[in-house]
Amino acid sequence: MKIQHVIKPETLREALIALGDYKGESEVIAGGTDLLVKMREGHNRYSTLIDISDVPEIREIHETEDTFEIGAAVTFSEIVAHEGIKQAFVGLWEACVSVGAPQIRNKGTIGGNIANASPAADSVPPLMALEAVLLIGSAIDSKRVPLSQFFQGKGNNVLQPGEMILKIILQKAPQKHKNVAFAKLGLRNALAISRLSVAMTLTLDDNNQIVTAAVATGSLGLVVMREPLIEAFLIGRVLDDALIEETEAQFSEVVETRLKGRSTCEFKKEAIKGITYTVMKKWMAQEGMTC
């Protein structure tokens, strides 16, 4: 659809009012790196755009004692440049590094990556494994929605007309041995669309027994999703090389069941083993564990 109007609010309040005024006839543009591709193909939905890319309130990364709040219009380059994020969430940082190429990271935003609801979105699996919560706002109110409840099938999400994502809230690790690791299989080293990705956070007790596990995958279904079967399998087990091998086999079964009948099944049920291996090894290396 041809764009007729671009509204460029200068404050969050203006942006939310514009969203309310053009409810049902507008969509939000931030970095534009996905939306302009859709426009080229004629797949964008509305002729009015509300450009939030310069709204200051959602352009910041705010660190509190126990959270990071990332504004929806923060770019991947800004996340990559943020030392605090890199320290706290290596896997998220790596996922952001792996997005497209510098030009894309300089414009593309984390909020856009989420709202776009692509199963191949690089930043979403680590955010989901970190149990991120989204702050969603409208001209009237705001609410918190866990990221795991945000998607409604490929390209769809729970946002109502007039609403947008304001912030992504991440809890800092409450204890030691909780970090996120990320691994992705792309076809090349830059500009690589994810063919498969896994993000994992674990907490261990003093005997390296897994106490909690959050595992999320990309490009294995219509949306990025948590993998409860794998999480259940991991909890209570001791993290070592033998467990990695068993997890590979478990994951392979999960993938085979899910993708049965699809042309990608044969490859992905095998390749998931490699990505599982990499992500678990990375997790251990990040925690200084060697085995």
Show the binding pattern over residues 13-42: x = contacts other proteins (CB under 8 A), - = does not. Answer: ----------------x-xxx--xx-xx--
CA-wise closest residue to 147 among 203, 225, 199, 200: 225
Q: What's the start-to-end Cα distance of the chain, in Å? A: 55
Q: Which of 65, 175, 188, 260 binds other proteins (CB under 8 A)?
A: 188
CA-wise closest residue to 110 among 87, 88, 142, 85: 85
60 counts as binding other proteins under rule CB under 8 A: no
Q: Which of 18, 19, 49, 223 binds other proteins (CB under 8 A)?
A: 49
56 counts as binding other proteins under rule CB under 8 A: no
- Residues with Cβ within 8 Å of 75's Cβ and at least 6 positions away in sequence, in order, are 31, 105, 106, 107, 108, 109, 110
Which of these ranges, 11-19, 56-64, 181-189, 201-209, lies near other proteins under the rule CB under 8 A?
A: 181-189
Per the structure block, which two tokens stand in for 62?
A: 């705010």
Residue 83: alpha-carbon gap to chain centroid: 19
Cβ distance to other proteins smaller for residue 36 or 211: 36
Residue spans of beta strands (DSSP E) within the chain: 5-7, 26-29, 48-51, 61-63, 67-71, 133-137, 142-146, 164-171, 179-185, 196-204, 210-218, 225-226
289 counts as binding other proteins under rule CB under 8 A: no
Cβ distance to other proteins smaller for residue 29 or 121: 29
Report DSSP state, residue 154.
T
Q: Which of 160, 249, 270, 291 binds other proteins (CB under 8 A)?
A: 270
Interacting residues toward other proteins by CB under 8 A? 2-6, 8, 29, 31-33, 36-37, 39-40, 49, 51, 53-54, 77, 100-104, 106-107, 185, 187-191, 193, 195, 248, 266-267, 270-271, 273-275, 277-278, 281
